[in-house]
Amino acid sequence: MFEEIFEEELSRGSVFRDASKLSPDYVPRLLVHREKEFRQLTRMFKPVIENRASQKVLITGSVGVGKTALARRFGEELVQAAKQRDIKLDYIHVNCRKQKTPYAVLMELVQHYYPRWPSRGLGPEKLLHMITEWLNKHDGYLALTLDEADFFVQLNGPDLIYSLTRAMEELGEPNRISIIAISRDPNFPRMLDAATQSTFMHNVIALDKYTAPQLVDILNYRIREAFRPGTVEQEAVLLIADIAARWGDARFALELLWRSGIIADEEQTDVVTPEHVRRAKAEVYPEVRKEVLHELHLHEKLMLMALARRLRITKQAYTSTGELERAYRVVCEEYGEKPRGHTQFWEHLRRMEGLGLIDTQISRGPKEGRTKKISIPDVPVAMLEKELEKLLEARGT
């Protein structure tokens, strides 16, 4: 039985070409909308390549703005640039949430240079000495990224970073270790001792949150890598971007895209639609809040029903206010209610937006003018429509 299921799943078509291209661990060749920051990082590390000097840089920004991807892609390019100039340079990326202690961080570095070295036996000072000794002996250089450095310093204090920035001074040698510290907290330098603060203060790259149009570009780039041609509707892309733009989080956007593709495959459909996105959003953060629906006024429920039905029928991510008003009148007639006037219609719309039940956007297209578009981003519209039907049917009981 299970063999048959396995073979059936393998033979079935998929919207994906390579789903791994949506993984948080995947670093694309092109970092969309991070070219400026990549150039900044390159300029900062120019002395490392030209003069074999060490460098210290801080990258800050909130979750999902590309800090890790930027550092990893830069590290790969830095190694290649050094190789072309006959400089032996290694790039090592350490996640400080996984390697939580100074010993664990240093052991990861030691085992890079001495792969068979046992994981126990020496203290942090001896391990750091092994690293600097190897670099001196082999005329090598190290570019080390400490990811989640703020978390690490809060847990352990700043001593390890201080030691790494001055590792060679005790030997009277030029420092061969460059450091990229990644921190969510822009005030990370204040966590360090005064001497170490100065090494980072002048080389800070702050990544802004992504806007919705930027997320659209990122998603479309990844779609070309991860999906078969023509399997993701642009309306679905716009909806994902608008949802994730609340936090400016590309990682969340890519997770929504991946989950939407999985749902499309489960339904054995050939294309990812806005409804798949809504279902994916409900799985990531379930937000069918029945208590909020119960608190809605009757005509707010009728309006929301009209919106859910309109989006389900058209299979679009958005509808215009004019289309919604017409759909609302139809639903009012169905339930024997007199439609409210235009002013009250807008008041209901604003209240539902304030409750987080709907999103409104100004139309992007130049031909569309300045009309508003309305969406239900957080729940599958079919599910919402059924819940509202129950509430409206029970209103007279």
- The answer to whether residues 323 and 184 belong to one domain is no
Structure tokens of 145? 């990224």
Is pLDDT of 47 > 70? yes
User: Whole-number mean pLDDT of the chain?
Assistant: 88
pLDDT value of residue 171: 63
Q: What CATH number should be reported for the domain holding residue 133?
A: 3.40.50.300
Instruction: Look at residue 388 and tell me if it is in a domain.
Output: yes
H-helix or E-strand spanning residue 381:
helix 381-393
Q: Which of 239, 264, 284 marks a domain boundary?
A: 284
Mean pLDDT of 276-283: 90
Q: Which of 220, 249, 284 marks a domain boundary?
A: 284
Q: What is the pLDDT of residues 361-380, one digit of tens each?
A: 776 555 545 578 899 877 88
- The answer to whether residues 159 and 45 belong to one domain is yes
Going by pLDDT thresholds of 50, 70 and 90, the confidence category of residue 4 is low
- The answer to whether residues 176 and 230 belong to one domain is no
Instruction: Look at residue 261 and tell me if it is in a domain.
Output: yes
Instruction: Look at residue 175 and tell me if it is in a domain.
Output: yes
Instruction: Look at residue 18 and tell me if it is in a domain.
Output: no
Looking only at Cα atoms, what is the longest distance across the chain?
88
Is pLDDT of 34 > 60? yes
Tally the domains of the chain.
3
SS3 10: helix
pLDDT value of residue 151: 85
pLDDT value of residue 5: 47
Residues with Cβ within 8 Å of 31's Cβ and at least 6 positions away in sequence, in order, are 38, 66, 69, 70, 73
- The answer to whether residues 100 and 128 belong to one domain is yes
- The answer to whether residues 148 and 265 belong to one domain is no
Residue for token pair 């590390």: 45
Per DSSP, the residues of 160-200 read HHHHHHTTTGGGT----EEEEEEES-TTGGGGS-HHHHHHH
Residues paired with residue 183 on neighbouring β-strands, in sequence order: 60
Cβ contact 66:31 at 8 Å: yes
pLDDT value of residue 108: 94
Cβ contact 58:203 at 8 Å: yes
Q: Tell me how far the alpha carbon of residue 73 is from its chain's centroid.
A: 16
Mean pLDDT of 15-38: 95
Structure tokens of 338? 């007199």
- The answer to whether residues 158 and 307 belong to one domain is no
Q: What is the pLDDT of residues 155-214, one digit of tens each?
A: 899 999 989 988 776 666 778 999 999 998 888 888 888 878 888 888 999 999 999 999
- The answer to whether residues 365 and 226 belong to one domain is no
Instruction: Look at residue 264 and tell me if it is in a domain.
Output: yes
CA distances from 22 to 4, 13, 209, 283 (A): 29, 19, 19, 17
- The answer to whether residues 55 and 191 belong to one domain is yes
Encode 305-352 in three state secondary structure. HHHHHHHHHHCCCCEEHHHHHHHHHHHHHHCCCCCCCHHHHHHHHHHH
Long-range Cβ contacts of 159-162 (<8 Å, 24+ apart): 159/102, 160/102, 160/105, 160/106, 160/124, 161/192, 161/196, 162/192, 162/193, 162/195, 162/196
Burial, 310: exposed, middle or buried (Cβ in 10 Å; 0-12, 13-18, 19+)?
A: buried
Full domain range(s) for residue 348: 290-396
Q: Pick the more confident residue, 328 or 377.
A: 328
SS3 8: helix
Is pLDDT of 339 > 50? yes
Q: What CATH number should be reported for the domain holding residue 223?
A: 1.10.8.60
**Window from 9-13, 127-131, 353-357 with minimum mean pLDDT:** 9-13
Is pLDDT of 83 > 60? yes
Backbone angles phi, psi at 89, to 5 degrees: -130, 130
H-helix or E-strand spanning residue 214:
helix 212-226
- The answer to whether residues 48 and 104 belong to one domain is yes
Instruction: Look at residue 127 and tell me if it is in a domain.
Output: yes
Instruction: Look at residue 2 and tell me if it is in a domain.
Output: no
Closest CA to 52 of 29, 81, 22: 81
Instruction: Look at residue 19 and tell me if it is in a domain.
Output: no
For residue 314, the number of C-alpha atoms closer than 13 Å in the C-beta half-sphere is 17
SS3 372: strand
Q: What CATH number should be reported for the domain holding residue 371?
A: 1.10.10.10
Structure tokens of 119? 């994981």
**Window from 69-78, 183-192, 216-225, 349-358 with minimum mean pLDDT:** 349-358
Per DSSP, the residues of 224-244 read HHHB-TT-B-HHHHHHHHHHH
Structure tokens of 281? 């959003």
Burial, 140: exposed, middle or buried (Cβ in 10 Å; 0-12, 13-18, 19+)?
A: middle
pLDDT value of residue 315: 87
- The answer to whether residues 253 and 349 belong to one domain is no
Q: Which of 254, 284, 314 marks a domain boundary?
A: 284
Q: How far apart are the C-alpha atoms of 283 and 304, rounded to whole Å? A: 21
Residues paired with residue 147 on neighbouring β-strands, in sequence order: 95
- The answer to whether residues 186 and 96 belong to one domain is yes
- The answer to whether residues 273 and 294 belong to one domain is no
Q: How far apart are the C-alpha atoms of 51 and 355, rounded to whole Å? A: 58
